[in-house]
């Protein structure tokens, strides 16, 4: 039996697309990188508290925010409709390697606990990532209920602990004093 602790939720299936069993999906990871490396990619859907593997038949971008996914043995619109709204899971082993940053989108960190990398100080829980401007910002709810708005970029992230949902960030000096 599969242990849920070995998997990471990566998005949710949306509406069906066309008649060939494709579904739209808003994902927090870039599956195209994994799809190029492993054409036998499996995603998992939860059914009756069990994770069930579904082999990906095709994967393509629809927009910047949506992908279209088709699974083996899901060949019709009717079969795909039974999967609408389901949460998608990916084996954490795909994300626990050096290239994880290339796969994970920043929105994947929403819900993670944020720590200051140098001091280890707990800053709060990440509630949103705003990438609508050139400087990507994240909103953090502090333990006191206040909101911090901090920049996030690859060079500021010092460590990610996926299993613990923790992110360690090099916060620019003086920013926490504002």
Kindly report, residue by residue over 122-158, the tens digit of the pLDDT. Answer: 999 999 988 888 888 899 999 999 999 998 887 888 8
Report the SS3 class of residue 37: helix
pLDDT at residue 71 in the model: 95
Q: Could you tell me the pTM of the whole model?
A: 0.65
Residue 136's Cβ-count burial label (10 Å; 0-12, 13-18, 19+) is middle
Alpha helix ranges (H) inside the chain? 31-37, 77-81, 100-103
What is the pLDDT confidence band of residue 105, given thresholds at 50, 70 and 90?
Answer: confident
- Which of 100, 120, 114 lies closest to 152, judged by CA? 114
Task: Give mean pLDDT, residues 153-171.
Answer: 86
pLDDT at residue 67 in the model: 92
Task: Give mean pLDDT, residues 10-16.
Answer: 94
25-60 burial, b for 16+ CB within 10 Å, e for fewer?
Answer: bebbbebeebbeeeeebbbbbeeeeebeebebbebe
Give the pairing type, strands 42-47 and 22-27: unpaired
Domains of the chain, start order: 4-99 (2.40.30.60), 106-170 (2.30.30.240)
Kindly report, residue by residue over 74-92, the tens digit of the pLDDT. Answer: 999 999 999 999 999 998 8
Residue 12 backbone zone (phi > 0: left; psi -120 to 50: alpha; other: beta) = beta
Q: Residue 97 pLDDT > 60, yes or no?
A: no
* N-terminal to C-terminal alpha carbon distance within the chain: 50
Beta pairing partners, 149:
139
pLDDT at residue 100 in the model: 54
What is the pLDDT confidence band of residue 1, given thresholds at 50, 70 and 90?
Answer: low
C-alpha–C-alpha distance, residues 163 and 70, integer Å: 28
Contact 83, 69 (CB under 8 A): no
């Amino acid at each position: 039996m599969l242990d849920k602790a070995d998997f990471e939720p990566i998005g949710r299936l949306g509406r069906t697309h066309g008649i060939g069993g494709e579904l739209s999906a808003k994902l927090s990871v870039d599956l195209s990188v994994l799809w190029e490396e492993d054409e036998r990619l499996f995603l998992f859907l939860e059914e009756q508290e069990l994770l069930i593997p579904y082999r990906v038949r095709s994967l393509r971008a629809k927009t910047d925010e949506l992908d279209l996914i088709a699974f083996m043995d899901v060949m019709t619109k009717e079969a795909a409709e039974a999967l609408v709204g389901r949460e998608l899971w990916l084996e954490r082993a795909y994300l626990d390697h050096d290239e994880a940053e290339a796969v994970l989108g920043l929105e994947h960190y929403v819900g993670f606990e944020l720590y200051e990398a140098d001091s280890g100080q707990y800053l709060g829980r990440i509630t949103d990532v705003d990438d609508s401007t050139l400087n990507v910002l994240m909103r953090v709810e502090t333990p006191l209920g206040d909101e911090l708005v901090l920049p996030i970029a690859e060079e500021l992230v010092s460590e990610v602990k996926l299993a613990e949902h923790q992110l360690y960030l090099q916060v620019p000096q003086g920013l926490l004093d504002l």
